[in-house]
């Protein structure tokens, strides 16, 4: 098991508890938020059709207490209880996580644990763990899961380099592309005589995903799934446009003339005439 992170540890548990070793893999949490879903930017990427692009998040408050935000339409299971998101989109359904709480998404079981009490203060005061890669950019551990048959058919190669090449190559996602807003229908007058649109290709209706970026992923098989843990580069957050717009000078309205000044100007105009 990896060392605990500043906020805790997330472990992927085996679906069947017939073996003594119940943990498939684990990683320390060094960021104040961990996202679950099938979006490529999620911390834990679950490439399954019934998982939403952003299905859930674990967030930490200033006191480093963990809270689970339920966002996916199909919900999830927390400590044996099925929980669904709020109907109103104003605020997500939020659940406080205890030490050792289990979260289950699409049958995949994750266990969250806080750091041991005797090292919490030291971990909180320490910077994020250094990456083994000599790169100045921010890096973080990312977990990806997908059905093995979607990647290797009928089975992985005996050549590790060939398997790595497949994992690094773009792959057709096992779910359709998220629907985009429909454009306004053109006027029948303008569309008269225009060439008919070509039918959508089946490949265009599905997203393309890449499972591995680097050359040193940790890949294991659990049941019929591939579990990939990789140290990846985290893109810097985009600048806050709202904050930039706030510093722009506001337009100034012209000063209104006082009554005394207006009378003097009118008197001067009459004298000229």
Question: Per residue in 198-225, is it b (16+ CB within 10 Å) or e — as a string?
Answer: eeeeeeeeebebebbeeeebebeebeeb
pLDDT at 186: 56
Above 50 in pLDDT, residue 137? no
Answer whether residue 243 is part of any domain: no
Instruction: Give tens-digit pLDDT for 72-81.
Output: 999 999 999 9
Strand order through the sheet with 225-233: 93-96, 66-70, 56-60, 33-37, 44-47, 139-147, 225-233, 218-222
Average pLDDT, the chain: 80
pTM above 0.75, yes or no: no
Helical H segments across 32-72, by residue range: none
Answer whether residue 257 is part of any domain: no
Number of domains in the chain: 1
Answer whether residue 270 is part of any domain: no
Answer whether residue 265 is part of any domain: no
Answer whether residue 46 is part of any domain: yes
pLDDT at 133: 41
* Domain at 50, CATH number: 2.60.200.20
Instruction: Give tens-digit pLDDT for 1-56.
Output: 567 889 999 999 998 766 666 999 999 999 999 999 999 999 999 999 999 999 99
Answer whether residue 102 is part of any domain: yes
Three-class secondary structure of residue 214 per DSSP = coil
Helical H segments across 74-226, by residue range: 120-125, 160-168, 188-191
pLDDT at 216: 92
Instruction: Give tens-digit pLDDT for 222-268.
Output: 989 999 999 987 665 445 444 444 444 555 555 555 555 555 555 55
Cis peptide before 154 (omega within 30 of 0): yes
Answer whether residue 272 is part of any domain: no
The residue range of the domain holding 62 is 8-127+137-176+205-237
Which of these ranges, 48-52, 80-84, 158-162, 198-202, has the smallest mean pLDDT?
A: 198-202
Answer whether residue 82 is part of any domain: yes
The H-or-E segment that residue 200 falls in is none
């Amino acid at each position: 098991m990896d060392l605990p992170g500043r906020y805790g540890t997330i472990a992927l548990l085996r679906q069947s508890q017939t073996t003594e070793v119940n943990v498939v893999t684990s990683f320390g949490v060094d960021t104040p938020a961990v996202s679950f879903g099938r979006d490529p930017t999620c911390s834990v990427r679950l490439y399954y059709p019934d998982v939403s692009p952003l299905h859930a998040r674990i967030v930490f408050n200033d006191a480093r207490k963990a809270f689970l935000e339920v966002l996916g339409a199909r919900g999830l299971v927390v400590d044996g209880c099925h929980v669904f998101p709020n109907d109103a989109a104003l605020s997500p359904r939020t659940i406080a996580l205890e030490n050792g709480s289990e979260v289950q998404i699409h049958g995949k079981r994750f266990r969250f644990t806080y750091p041991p009490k005797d090292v919490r203060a030291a971990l909180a005061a320490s910077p994020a763990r250094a990456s083994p890669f000599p790169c100045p950019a921010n890096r973080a551990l990312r977990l990806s899961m997908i059905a093995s048959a979607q990647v290797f058919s009928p089975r992985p190669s005996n050549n590790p380099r060939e398997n790595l090449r497949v994992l690094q190559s773009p792959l057709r996602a096992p779910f359709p592309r998220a629907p985009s807003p429909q454009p306004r229908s053109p006027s029948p007058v303008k569309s008269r005589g225009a060439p008919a649109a070509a039918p959508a290709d089946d490949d265009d209706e599905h997203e393309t995903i890449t499972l591995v970026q680097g050359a040193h992923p940790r890949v294991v098989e659990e049941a019929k799934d591939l579990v990939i843990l990789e140290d990846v580069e985290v893109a810097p957050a985009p600048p806050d446009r709202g904050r930039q717009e706030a510093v722009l000078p506001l337009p100034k309205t012209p000063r209104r003339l006082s009554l005394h000044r207006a009378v003097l100007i009118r008197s001067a105009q009459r004298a000229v005439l």
